[in-house]
Amino acid sequence: MQVETLQIHNESKLLKDYRNNDPNIMRFFDYHPYNDFKKRLSELENRSFDREKLTDLLKVMNSKWGVPQSSLDNIARLKQRESVVVIGGQQAGILTGPMYTINKIVSIIQLARQQEEELNIPVIPVFWIAGEDHDFAEINHIFVPGISKMKKFKLFQQALGKQSVSDLDLDKEGTETWIYQLFEQLEETANTKELFKTILSCLDVANSYTDFFARLVYSLFPNEGLVLINSADKELRKVEYKHFISLVQAQPEISRGVYDASEDLNQLGYSISLELEKEDAHLFYHENGERILLVKDEENMWVGKQNEVRFTTEELQEIAVKQPYNLSNNVVTRPIMQELLFPTLAFIGGPGEVGYWAVLKPAFAALGMKMPPVLPRLSFTFIDRNVEKALSKYSIHVEHAINYGVEDIKQDWLNKKQDPPIHELSVEIKQKIKDIHKPLRDAAKGVRADLGDLADKNLHYLQDTILFLEGRINKAIEEKYAKEIEEFDLISLSLRPEGGLQERIWNPIFWLNHHGAEFLQSIIHRDLSMKESHFVVWL
């Protein structure tokens, strides 16, 4: 297995400038992403964390997921006053979701190991499962390769309203049927039976999609000391209640600060995947199984965005104390809650997350904290041998295939198989027909207007006939070179699916089926630089 770096060409301006330490964007962050870990550590020493309650909670929570011993050991190490965490998170996708979730976990494990060696203190990798998120449609499917494009393979279960995924009953029978149908589409390999058995065993003892996700993750990362936390856990809310009070009290400063920061970013030409309004309260209230986004109205009341509920500040603080399980964070306050719970050495985020974290500096400051160093996660493209052979056969450089796809190269290759070029010949003939036909059209128009219209239609008919013939010839050429076209499409599906990076579409099950969990171990145990924008892994 070979691993090499590769430059991604279409990164956002914000991410490019951030990687290059541009002062315009760096002023929105408290730390340099790669060089300030010792500085961050010294500042963490002046803060206190309820390590006893947190570790007790983590032990109970993780014990429900078949937690490996290495993870239990790390939970215990979190009690040590000098210990810190590297943290990142994602929703609990079906079969772990797209590869970028796995890439993020690998990044967390990598940085934690590197910094433990560098700082000589316990650095624990923590993955925050965003279990309170309610968009089931985002996580209820994977994509499977079709003939020329990826197909969405969806798990059909009705999710009513805005119910948190962690509260959604796991349809075991429907999910098991879905898994059987998925495996019918997989090629039988030496790993298939064991992979199938592992997935079904995780499903069998799971009570929610979050449980299913957590058990699968631990089956893939049994020896790395990874610690999982479900942000929707009701027992966690009991630990968080005092932090909710702090968030309620600081809301005016948080809302004003992040809104102003977003306006500043926009003025500098940076775009972020976050829509902000001045009245945003950045908290959810839970009622009748639904999450209700709160805003502040002109009377300084906390109200549902659709006027579902209405609270005074004092009432919301009382809810935080007596019913903390009825509150949850949004994309702005979730990072602050992570920071209040964990001694965070660094946060690992995807490209979009790094973007919206750029507005969060004033939110952290509102609670008297600095945001941790924010590192873009590692990004990978995995290349199987059959794809490697196709790249070699057509002399396609992998950097071009990943950044731009190979549709242009395929079309150029097909054009060279046409002598003379069919499209150019078709255009030339249509123009000649138009020129030859002109005297007839002029004569028809001179006789009567309706005959002129008929003559125009006659020209279109003749040209459409040429187009039809062009299409039939091209189809015959494609049939003649079907094998070669299939090889080009294989490259596209694997390296540039749906016009984007592989990690955003492909699920890890396909590599697990062909290569086993070893394909993950090979990158976990390599010392990869967090500064690189992308890695190519030749399997």
CA dihedral 70, 72, 78, 82 (to 10 degrees): -40
In this predicted structure, what is the pLDDT of residue 495? 98
pLDDT at 135: 78
What would the mean pLDDT of 369-382 be, rounded to a whole number? 97
Query: Helical H runs in 481-533?
Result: 482-495, 509-515, 518-524
Instruction: For residue 475, name the pLDDT band (cuts at 50, 70, 90).
Output: confident
Residue 479 pLDDT: 87
User: Do 104 and 90 form a contact (C-beta atoms < 8 A)?
Assistant: yes
Sequence-separated (6 or more) residues with CB below 8 Å from residue 438: none
Mean pLDDT of the region 398-423: 91
| pLDDT tops 80 at residue 326 | yes
Nearest Cα residue to 279 out of 305, 245, 309, 248: 305
In Å, how far from its chain's centre is CA 280? 25
pLDDT of 133: 76
Backbone torsion region of residue 182, taken as left when φ is above 0, otherwise alpha when ψ lies between -120 and 50, otherwise beta:
alpha
Predicted pLDDT of residue 519: 85
**Strands lying side by side in the sheet with 302-304:** 310-311, 302-304, 290-296, 280-287, 327-329
Compute the average pLDDT of residues 269-293.
91
- Confidence grade of residue 331 (pLDDT, cut at 50, 70, 90): very high
What are the φ/ψ torsions at residue 117 (nearest 5 degrees)? -65, -40
- What is the spatial distance between Cα 369 and Cα 54, in angstroms, rounded to a whole number? 20
Q: What is the pLDDT of residue 161?
A: 63
Q: Phi-psi region for residue 122, left (φ > 0), alpha (ψ -120 to 50) or beta?
A: beta
Contact 226, 108 (CB under 8 A): yes
Q: What is the mean pLDDT of residues 194-217?
A: 96
**What ranges in 323-448 are assigned the alpha helix state H?**
333-341, 351-357, 361-366, 385-393, 398-404, 407-416, 422-447
Q: How confident is the model at residue 167 (pLDDT cuts 50, 70, 90)?
A: confident
pLDDT, average across residues 16-38 = 96
Residue 93 has pLDDT above 90, yes or no: yes
DSSP string across 88-101: EEE---GGG-SHHH
- How far apart (Å, rounded) are the C-alpha atoms in residues 522 and 539? 10
Average pLDDT over residues 262-291: 92
Q: Which amino acid is at 165?
A: V
- pLDDT value of position 175: 96
Q: What is the pLDDT of residue 6?
A: 95
Condensed to tens digits (0 to 9), the pLDDT of residues 59-78 reads: 999 999 999 999 999 999 99
Q: Which of 244, 259, 220 is nearest to 326 (CA)?
A: 244
Taking CA atoms, 205 is separated from 98, 158, 199, 210, in Å, by 23, 21, 11, 12
Q: Report the share of the chain in percent with pLDDT over 70.
A: 99
User: How far from 153 is each of 150, 211, 504, CA to CA, in Å?
Assistant: 9, 21, 15
- 3-state class (DSSP) for residue 264: helix
Nearest-angstrom CA–CA distance, 91 and 86: 18
Of these ranges, 130-139, 206-215, 513-522, the one predicted with the greatest mean pLDDT is: 206-215
* 433-446: pLDDT as tens digits: 999 999 999 999 99
Cα 315 off chain centre by = 36
What is the DSSP code (8-state) at residue 136? G
Q: What is the pLDDT of residue 159?
A: 67
Edge-to-edge strand list for the sheet holding 344-349: 227-230, 123-129, 84-90, 344-349, 374-376
Question: According to the model, what pLDDT value does residue 134 have?
Answer: 66
Residue 165: predicted pLDDT: 77
Rounded-to-integer distance, Cα 2 and Cα 4, Å: 7
Give mean pLDDT, residues 270-291: 91
Mean pLDDT, all residues of the chain: 94
**168 pLDDT exceeds 90?**
no
Buried-state track 336-366, b at ≥16 Cβ within 10 A, e below 16: bbbbbbbbbbbbbbbbebbbbbbbbbbbbbb
SS3 344: strand
